[in-house]
Amino acid sequence: MKRFTNLFLQLDRTTKTNEKVELLKAYFLSAPEEDKIWALALFTGRRPPRPIKSSQVQEWALEQAGIPQWLYRESYSSVGDMAETISLLLPASESTSDKTLSDWFHDFIDLAKKTDDEKKAFLINAWKQLSPYEIFVFNKLMMGSFRIGVSQTLVIRAVSEATDQEAAVVTHRVMGNWDPQVTTFKELIHAENLADQHSKPYPFYLAYAIEDELDELGQPNEWFAEWKWDGIRAQIIYRNKELYIWSRGEELVTGKFPELHAFADFLPDGTVLDGEILCFTDERPLSFNVLQTRIGRKNVTKKILQEAPVALIAYDLLELNGTDIRKQSQEYRRQALEDLYKSTSAFPAFRLSRLLDFQKWDDLKSLHKQSRENIAEGFMIKRKAAAYQTGRKKGDWWKWKVDPLSVDAVLIYAQKGSGRRAELYTDYTFAVWDQGKLIPFAKAYSGLTDAEIRRVDHFVKNNTVEKFGPVRTVKPKLVFEIGFEGINASTRHKSGIAVRFPRMLRWREDKPAEEADTLENLRQILSQYR
């Protein structure tokens, strides 16, 4: 545990990518074999389920610290992280512990079967053996959100350097379904031919937003353009007579989409498709909101299957007859995808992403204006000569999104942020006018510069009307242009409207609050674009 705590501490002290990779690399070169797999699991979001409910952890921590609940909440709102708050509140430890990372995890796993009293005794005893920073890391291990500014890409770079393997190979191995309880680091990273490798998706190739004018891309005939769909990016894998559906978040989502199981009946063995999962009715895609609601449900009911059936809009082919064809050109892969599509008996869940017809860049520009009518977010523009690359890379794939929808709204509530913004009021609620009243319609956290945040924070502190726990009601004075990607009717919101990805586009310092937009404005946008 000391070694891992130290790694965590060192990572926390630097913002430099190269230093982080060096630290991780040193860890993977020197840590005990059985610890490495747990570290890798943590850094790639595979923490085992919480052994103790966080409400219990909190309750027992307060008991130890001798402070009331309200004081905990005040403390938490200044720290912004539960694991850290508890580590700062607990009394100083009495002894030390030599347990390793994997020892602790085995204890956590055993805890699942224990009674509440046993859990409590375990936890209090553990805290008494750990220093404050160790308690912080320990709490994270136990309950994470385990985010410390180390992306999966960084970890993979470190592991690949430490084990002397290609990063793409490591990525491929780390993605997918493995369990630190049964898989060893050696098996996962070094072993060559494992049966479970069949399930693994390829790392997704991700596009950057286009920065320059289209003309800068060169000749239009060197490029493909397609609608950019607003669904779930996914790979459909059919290998060894088994079907796997992976989302871009590297989640295995096969069970969520029974409609797509038909791919197993139609695809030849050794096929990997890349595309977008969307809900369709009457040949028309439905908004992302429908899909999101469906994913949120625990079970896929008949009703859902009827009302919001999904299909895959395929736009790339990564593996054909068991051969990885990612190094082939986009044009080659597109042709292979079309051939595959044609040779597959038609079934409704398999659709092909249409290539847009254009001669000049100007054609594309005028077509772009029809994005919203086509329920698309804009275009994907792909170089015909492009290989399918790993991760977010510039140059060959670009996304060209439509401008967000926007309204001018008034800041009415503010709350402190978390993590690095824990002392500042950074989380805001915005309202629009309706019959002389301000009706809240969206929360937004992002879009302002640090300097603007400090100014808004200052405003909040000097213009507080009321405090409700961590939330402050402020005088309705500041106006912001709020951008969003989608809009839907909602019975769960007071405004009757739910917007997707709201964010602050700019601070309208020129606009008095009275001139902000109205709920009627929002309803108009809703009727235009839903």
Q: Which is nearer to other proteins, 129 or 464 (CB)?
A: 464
Residue 39 Cβ, how far from other proteins at the closest point, in Å? Answer: 20
What contacts 24+ positions apart, CB below 8 Å, involve 494-500?
494/439, 494/440, 494/441, 495/432, 495/434, 495/439, 495/440, 495/441, 495/519, 495/522, 496/523, 497/441, 497/522, 497/523, 497/526, 498/289, 499/405, 499/441, 499/442, 500/288, 500/289
Q: Which of 70, 115, 298, 435 binds other proteins (CB under 8 A)?
A: 70
Q: Which of 17, 48, 65, 120 binds other proteins (CB under 8 A)?
A: 65
Secondary structure letter of residue 224 according to DSSP? E
Residue 448 Cβ, how far from other proteins at the closest point, in Å? Answer: 14
Residue 431 Cβ, how far from other proteins at the closest point, in Å? Answer: 24
Residues 412-431 that bind other proteins (CB under 8 A): 418-424
- Max CA-CA distance within the chain? 75
Residue 460 Cβ, how far from other proteins at the closest point, in Å? Answer: 10
Q: How far is CA 376 from CA 4, 138, 352, 405, in A?
A: 45, 45, 15, 14
Q: Which is nearer to other proteins, 35 or 457 (CB)?
A: 457
Give residues with Cβ within 8 angstroms of 113, minimum separation 6: none
Q: Which range touches other proteins (CB under 8 A), out of 76-84, 122-130, 315-323, 344-352? A: 76-84
Q: How far is CA 411 from CA 6, 40, 146, 407, in A?
A: 42, 42, 32, 13
Per-residue string for binding with other proteins, 441-460, x by CB under 8 A? -------------x--xx--
Q: Which range touches other proteins (CB under 8 A), out of 81-89, 284-292, 476-484, 505-513? A: 81-89
Nearest alpha carbon to residue 158 among 4, 14, 23 = 23
Residue 450 Cβ, how far from other proteins at the closest point, in Å? Answer: 9
Report, in this order, helix, strand and coil percent for the chain, each rounded to 5.
Answer: 40, 25, 35
Residue 470 Cβ, how far from other proteins at the closest point, in Å? Answer: 12
Per-residue string for binding with other proteins, 460-499, x by CB under 8 A? -xx-------------------------------------
Q: Which of 7, 37, 84, 310 binds other proteins (CB under 8 A)?
A: 84
Q: Which range touches other proteins (CB under 8 A), out of 66-74, 306-314, 333-341, 384-392? A: 66-74
Q: Which is nearer to other proteins, 19 or 265 (CB)?
A: 19
Which DSSP helix (H) or strand (E) runs through 340? helix 330-343
Residue 473 Cβ, how far from other proteins at the closest point, in Å? Answer: 15
Q: How far apart are the C-alpha atoms of 147 and 151, rounded to whole Å?
A: 9
Per-residue string for binding with other proteins, 8-27, x by CB under 8 A? ----xxxx------------
Contact status, residue 336 vs residue 318, Cβ threshold 8 Å:
no
Secondary structure letter of residue 177 according to DSSP? -
Q: Which is nearer to other proteins, 78 or 527 (CB)?
A: 78
**3-class DSSP state for residue 508?**
coil
Q: What is the DSSP string of 97-159?
A: ----HHHHHHHHHHHTTS-HHHHHHHHHHHHHTS-HHHHHHHHHHHH----SS--HHHHHHHH
Q: Which range touches other proteins (CB under 8 A), out of 44-52, 62-70, 271-279, 336-344? A: 62-70
Q: Which is nearer to other proteins, 81 or 408 (CB)?
A: 81
Q: Which of 71, 112, 121, 385 binds other proteins (CB under 8 A)?
A: 71
Q: How far is CA 284 from CA 110, 279, 402, 514, in A?
A: 50, 8, 19, 40
Q: Which is nearer to other proteins, 89 or 519 (CB)?
A: 89
Q: Which is nearer to other proteins, 13 or 327 (CB)?
A: 13
For residue 145, cis peptide bond before it (omega within 30 degrees of 0): yes
Q: Which range touches other proteins (CB under 8 A), out of 35-43, 78-86, 350-358, 404-412? A: 78-86
Residue 123 Cβ, how far from other proteins at the closest point, in Å? Answer: 19
Q: Which range touches other proteins (CB under 8 A), out of 82-90, 238-246, 291-299, 484-492? A: 82-90
Residues 100-119 that bind other proteins (CB under 8 A): none
Q: Which of 5, 44, 85, 353 binds other proteins (CB under 8 A)?
A: 85
Interface with other proteins (CB under 8 A), residue total: 31
Residue 99 Cβ, how far from other proteins at the closest point, in Å? Answer: 23
Torsion of CA 17, 18, 19, 22, to 10 degrees: 120
Torsion of CA 231, 339, 398, 386, to 10 degrees: 140
Torsion of CA 475, 481, 487, 493, to 10 degrees: -10
Residue 89 Cβ, how far from other proteins at the closest point, in Å? Answer: 5
Per-residue string for binding with other proteins, 374-413, x by CB under 8 A? ----------------------------------------
Q: Which is nearer to other proteins, 277 or 424 (CB)?
A: 424
**3-class DSSP state for residue 348?**
coil
What number of residues does the chain have? 530
Which DSSP helix (H) or strand (E) runs through 86? helix 82-89
Contact status, residue 444 vs residue 504, Cβ threshold 8 Å:
yes
Q: How far apart are the C-alpha atoms of 171 and 160, rounded to whole Å?
A: 9
Residue 470: what residue type? P
Q: Which is nearer to other proteins, 90 or 364 (CB)?
A: 90
Torsion of CA 126, 131, 136, 141, to 10 degrees: -50
Site residues, other proteins (CB under 8 A)? 12-15, 65, 67-68, 70-71, 74-75, 78-81, 84-85, 88-89, 418-424, 454, 457-458, 461-462
